[in-house]
Structure 1
Amino acid sequence: MTVVAAIRDTFDASFREAGYWLDKTVDQFLTEAVAKIPDKVAIVADRADRDQAPRFTYRELNDLADRAASSLLRLGVGRGDVVTVQLPNWWEFVVTAFACSKIGAVMNPVMPILRERELLYILNFCEAKVFIVPKSYRGFDYAAMAHGMRTELPHLRHVIVADGEGETGFERILLSSEVSGLPSGLHPDDMAVLMFTSGTTGEPKGVMHTSNSLIACCKALSGRFGLDSNDVLLVASPVGHMTGYAAIVLLSVYLGGTMILQDVWEARRGVGLMAREGVTYSAASTPFLSDICDAVKVGAPQPKSLRSFLCGGAPIPSVLIERAAGELGLTVCSLWGMTEVLSGTLTEPARAAEKSASTDGRALEGMEVRIVDADGRPLPAGESGRLLVRGAQMFKGYYKRPELQTFDSDGWFDSGDLAYMDGDGYIRISGRVKDILIRGGENVPVVEIENLLYKHPAVSGVAVVGFPDARLGERGCAFIVPRGGSTIDLAAVQAYLGEAKMAKQFWPERVELVTELPRTASGKIQKFKLREIAVAFSDAK
C-alpha cells in the first residue's frame, strides 16, 4: 500500500467515526422510504411537451427500479459495468439511477447537449454496455444519433430509447418483465457514479464517486439548510450534472421528500410549478435565479413556499440577492463546489444576507478548505492563493487515469481555483489558476472587474479574459451581453470602472458585444472558448 493510500484509509475511517459516511448505498434510502412512506409522492414529472405531469409514489418508484434492475441483469449488465444515460430531467433517469445501484452497475450521466464527437469518446472510454437516450428532445433525434454511432462502439450492447417504440423502447426493454432475484448491489465504497467534468478547461475527465461521498453531500446540505421529509425540491438544473443529480435528486430521496422534475427550463412554467406543488428548495446557477425574479415581476404566480435557493457556478450579484429577498422573500445561499468535490463550501441561511454576495460560503460539515501560496504554505486571511480541499465528499480519483495526481500526502486536492478567506472562514473564488490575467507583471482581479461590470445597467452578462500582447504580456478583453435595448462600448466601460475607483491598469482594453456567453449546461462560463476567440485580437490595432 502506498503512503497516500494509507493516509486515505485513515481519513475514510475518520469519516465513518464522525458520522459523515453512513456506509449505506443510494438505493438503501429508497428502500427505507418505501418502508416508511410507501404511498407518498416521490416524483412529479413535468414535461414541456405534455399537459399532464405523472406522479410516482415511493412504492411505484421502487417497483420500477426493481424491474429495470432485473432487466439490466438480463441484458448482461453486472457489477462495475457502465450504463451511460443521456436523458433530460425525466422520470426514466431517476428509475435508471436506482436500478444501477441495486445491481452494482455504474451510472454515467451525460448532458443532453453532447453530440457524436464527445459521446464517442465517453462511451468508448467507459466501455459502456448500455446507452439510454430520449427518442427526441428539443427537436433533436437522439435515437438516430445513437444508432448511427453503433459501428464505432465495439463494447456497446444495447441502445435503449425513452419514448421509443418497438424492441428498443425503454418501457418495453426495461419495465415489461417481472422482477427476478436481485444480487447484492453496490458496496458503499464502490464507484456508484462516473461523471465527466463539465469542460470549462476543455479537458473533461471521468470523476468517480461512491455512495458514501454522494450521501455525505446530501447529509451536509440537508443539515445546513435544515431540510427534512416535508420539503419539496424543484429539479430544474440538468440531472446530467452534479447539481441536479446529487444536490437535488439524491437529496430528495435521502430526505424522503418530493422532487418536481422540469425537463425544459422556462421560467414562467417553472415558477408555476413551484407555486402549484409547494416547492420549498431548489439549486441552480445565477441565470435561473434571475429568470425566476423576472417571471414573477411580469405576472407569474408567487412561489410562496420557496424559502431556500442554493446558487453556485459563479458569483451572485448583490442586486440579485436583494431582488430575491425583496420580491420573493427568498434566501439565496452561495456555494462553491465542483464535480470532484461536490459541495465544498456553503453560506448558511442565517448569514446569507450578509455573506452570499461577497463570499462563496464556509466549509461544509466533513469538509476542510485551505488557501496556500505557490509553495504550499498557508496564507493569512485576505490573501489570494490556491484553494485546497479535502473531506468526506471527495471523489475516488479519475477513471482510468492513475497517472493524474489527485491528492497530496496529507489528503489535500488542488481545486485549480484561486481564492481568499475572510476572518470568519468564508472563502471567495478570485479566479482559476488557468484564468489568471497578468498585465505588465500585475495580476488583474478579473472577478472583481466582472462583479463591477455586472452592476452596470446596460450589462446582462460579462466575462473578462486575456489576450496576448507583445509589450505587456496580456491585455484584458471584456465580452459583454448587453441588456435588452441597451448598448455599451469600451469608453463607457472604462469610464464606469474609473468612477468605481478601479486602478486604470486593470481596465479592459477591448470590449466585444455578444448575444450570449458560452456556458456549460450547469451555467459555468467556458472561458477557454473566449480565450480562443480573443487570441485574434493580439494583432488588432
Structure 2
Amino acid sequence: MKFDPVLIGPRRAQSIAKGWWPDRTINDALDEALAQCPDQIALTAVCADNGARTQFTYREMARMADRIAVGLARLGVGRDDVVSMQLPNCWQFSLLYLACSRIGAVVNPLMPIFRERELTFMLTHASSKVMIVQKRYRNFDYEAMLDGLREQLPDLEHLVVIGAGQDGRPAPHSFEALLSDPGWETAPDAQAVLTAARPGPDAVTQLLYTSGTTGEPKGVMHTANTLMANIVPYAPAMRLTPADVILMASPMAHQTGFMYGLMMPIMLRARVVLQDVWDPALAMRLINDERVTFTMASTAFLTDLAATVSEQRSGVPTLRTFVCAGAPIPGPLVERACAALGAKVVSAWGMTEMGAVTLTGLDDPDERSFNTDGTPLPGTELKVLDNDDRLAAPGVIGRLLVRTSSGFAGYLNRPHLNNVDAEGWFDTGDMAYVDASGYLRIAGRNKDMIIRGGENIPVVEIEALLFRHPQISDVAIVAYPDPRLGERACAVVVQKPGANLDMPAVVEFLKMNKVALQYIPERLLVIDSMPKTPSGKVQKFRLREIVRDGKD
C-alpha cells in the first residue's frame, strides 16, 4: 500500500522543536520495558465465555511479538503492508500490533460488529494483504463470512483464523500454526527480519476507520509520533505510573482502547487487563480481583458499571479514576456514577483523528465533569468560530477547530477530505462553546444542530435535562424539517421499564426546569433502543431518518 501522510511533513520541525513529538515508536517502549522490568506482568487477557486468563510478562510479550513478526514476514508481509484484524480485546490483538511494528507493517483494526458490506469496502480501500479473525465470537462464524468475501478482495492474500482446526489440532491457516506456535524468533534469519524494516516514528503505523456517526467511514492514518504525542501528556494528567493497573473493556478496535489500553500501558511499563465482552458484573469482579486503578470507556460503560455496583452493593475500592469519553456525559449520570463508584469521573472529548483532546482535571470539582468536557491537553489548541468565522465569545456556540500535536496524518487516499487549513487547524465537524474559564463543552455535530426559526437550540443541554426525567433511560434530540421554521426538534427517548411517557409530560418537565419555550421539543418518539456505534455514540443520522420517515 502506498500511503500519503501529507499532514506530517509540514509540522514535523515545529513538533520536534517544541518537544511535542517524542520521535519514538512502540518498539522503543517495549524494548525499554524488556530491559527494565522483564518479569513484571504486562498483560492479562480474560475471556468472558469461559473465564480463561492468559498472562504475559514483558519478557514473554517481547518474545511473542518477535515470533509473530517473523511469522508475518513468512507470509510475505513487509513495510507498509496492511494487516487487518477483526478481533475483540484479546491478547492476540495487542501482540499483532507489536509484531506489525517490528516489521514496518500497518495494523488495521476492525470492529467485530462489521459485516460483509463494511468489510468489503474497508479491506478493499486499505488493500489489506492479511486478515486475522477469530473462528467464532459471540456465536458468529467470522471464518465463513470472510471465505464468502474472498473473491471480492483481490489484494487479500491470507486469511488467518484464531482457533481454526479440529480435534484440538490447528488448521494450516490458523493463527496458531502460522504465527504463534512455531518458534520463528529462533530461526537463523529472525534478527535480520526483525531489524531490516523497523519503521521510523513518522511512518504510518495504524489505519483506523471512523465509526460512522455520519454514515461515511474514512481511513484515519496515524504515525507513532501522532499517537504517542497524545499519550505522553495524557498519562501524567491522569497521574498514571508503572504501579497502575488499567482495565480496558472499551474495544481496542477504536482509538480509546487502542491508545489507552494497548499503547499506554507499555509506555508506562504498567499492567493492563483486557475484557473481551462487555459485562458490568465481570468488570466489577475484575476491578476487585486484579486491583484495577484506572479505566476509560464511553457513557454506556459508566452507566452499566455504576448501576451494577449499586445493585450488588459491592464497592470497587481500588478504582481511582474512570475517564468517560465518546459523547458529552449527561450531568445526572456523572453524579450517580461518582456516588456509586467512589472514583473520580473525568469527562473527556476526542476523536479518532487525534485521541483525547480535552480532559477535566483530577483536582477539578465534580461539577466540571457534569457540565464540561475539560480543557485542552498540552500541545493542543482550540478555537470556536461563529457564523461569520470570527472567534466566538465565551459561552457562544460555534464551529470547533483543533490544532494539536496528536493530529492524524490524513485520510487514506482522500486528502481532499482532510479538512485541515494552511495553519494546521482541523475542522472537527462539532459545535461547541468555551466558557469564561477555558473549559470546552461539545454541543453536538454540525449536522446535529437544530436551528428553529433562526434560533440555535442547545441540544446537549436539553438532552441532559431530559436524562433527569424519572421515566427516561436514554434520550437524543434530532431535527425534522418544517416549512415555516426550517427545523423543529424531536425528542427520541428510551423509557425505563414500566414507564408510559407522553409529550405533555415532557413539555411540563422542561417547563418546570425553566427551559425557554422555543427550546422545547415539539415531537416525542419512543423507541426500544438507541442506534449506536460500538464506542457508544448515538447515530443521530439514523434517528433523523426514522423521524423524517414518520415512524413515530
Q: Distance in 2 between matches of 1:451 and 1:422?
A: 18
* Match of residue 461 from structure 1: 474
Residue in 2 aligned with 1:94? Answer: 94
- Offset of residue 352 of structure 1: 4.8
- Compared with structure 1, are the counterparts of its residues 341 and 352 closer, same or farther at alpha carbon in structure 2 (3 Å cutoff)? farther
- Residue 428 of structure 2 corresponds to residue 423 of structure 1: no
Residue aligning to 2:47? 47
Q: Which moved more, 1:453-462 or 1:349-358?
A: 349-358
Residue equivalent to 2:310? 297
How many positions carry a matched residue from both structures?
Answer: 535
The equivalent residue for 2:168 is none
Separation in 2, partners of 1:333, 1:233:
15
The answer to whether the Cα contact below 8 Å between 1:136 and 1:143 also exists between their aligned partners in 2 is: yes
For residue 282 of structure 1, give the secondary structure of its aligned residue in structure 2: strand
Please state how far the C-alpha of 1:302 moved relative to its aligned partner: 2.0
**Alignment correspondent of 2:535:** 522
Choose which of 456, 459, 484 in structure 2 pairs with 1:471.
484
Q: Distance in 2 between matches of 1:374 and 1:510?
A: 28
The amino acid across from 1:398 in the alignment is: Y
On the 8 A contact 1:285/1:522 being kept in 2, the answer is yes
Seen in structure 2, the aligned counterparts of structure 1 residues 471 and 214 have a Cα distance that, compared at 3 Å, is same
Say if 2:68 and 2:179, in contact at 8 Å, map to a contact too. yes
Runs of 4+ in 1 over 4 A off after TM superposition: 5-10
**Cα distance change on mapping 1:87 and 1:426 into 2, 3 Å:** same
Paired residue for 1:171, among 152, 169, 176?
176
Deviations 1:323-346 (A, max 9, x none): 333232210111110111211111
1:333 match? 346
- State the alpha-carbon separation in 1 of the partners of residues 224 and 487 from structure 2: 44
> Helix, strand or coil for the counterpart of 1:349?
coil
Aligned match for 1:195, one of 203, 208, 222: 208
Aligned to 1:160: 160
C-alpha displacement at 1:6, in angstroms?
Answer: 11
Q: Secondary structure at the match of 1:54?
A: strand
**2:322–2:346 contact (8 Å) kept in structure 1:** yes
Contact 2:209 2:217 in 1 (8 A): yes
Partner of 2:110: 110
Amino acid at match of 2:177: R
- 2:251 partner SS: coil
Cα distance between partner residues in 1 of 2:313 and 2:133: 33
Give SS of 2:172's match: helix
Shift of 1:322: 2.4
State the shift of 1:442 in Å: 1.8
Which range moved further: 87-96 or 474-483?
A: 474-483
Partners of 2:18 and 2:73 in 1: CA distance: 36
3-state SS, counterpart of residue 128 of structure 1: coil
Give 1:405 shift.
Answer: 4.0
Q: Which runs of 5+ in 1 are unaligned?
A: none
Contact 1:332 1:352 in 2 (8 A): no
- AA partner of residue 58 (structure 1): Y
Give the conservation status (yes or no) of the 8 Å contact 1:109–1:240: yes
Query: Match of 1:462, SS?
Result: strand
**Sequence identity, in percent?**
46
Give the superposition deviation at 1:298.
1.9
* Aligned partner of residue 501 in structure 2, secondary structure: coil
SS at match of 2:417: coil
Matches of 1:325 and 1:480, distance apart in 2: 24
Farther-moved stretch of structure 1 (515-524 vs 432-441):
432-441
The answer to whether residue 371 in structure 2 is matched with residue 358 in structure 1 is yes
Structure 1 counterpart of 2:119 = 119
1: distance between equivalents of 2:365 and 2:274?
26
Alignment of 1:263 with 2:268, yes or no, is no
Cα distance between partner residues in 2 of 1:508 and 1:314: 21
Gaps of 5+ in 2: 166-170
Maintained 8 Å contact 2:7/2:409 = no
| CA distance in 1 between partners of 2:392 and 2:143 (Å) | 52
In 2, the alpha carbon distance for the partners of 1:468 and 1:53 equals 53
**How far 1:300 sits from its partner (Å)?**
6.2
Q: What is the rounded CA distance, in whole Å, between the counterparts of 2:346 and 2:306 in structure 1? A: 16
Per the TM alignment, residue 486 of structure 1 is displaced from its structure 2 partner at its CA by 1.9
> Do the aligned residues in 1 keep the contact of 2:6 with 2:410 (CA within 8 Å)?
no
Range 98-107 or range 437-446, more displaced: 437-446
Rounded Cα–Cα distance in structure 2 between residues aligned with 1:347 and 1:438:
29
Q: Distance in 1 between matches of 2:435 and 2:318?
A: 33
Cα root mean square deviation, aligned: 1.6
Distance 2:491 2:332 in 1: 21
Provide closer, same or farther for how the CA distance between residues 41 and 355 of structure 1 changes in structure 2, counting only shifts above 3 A: same
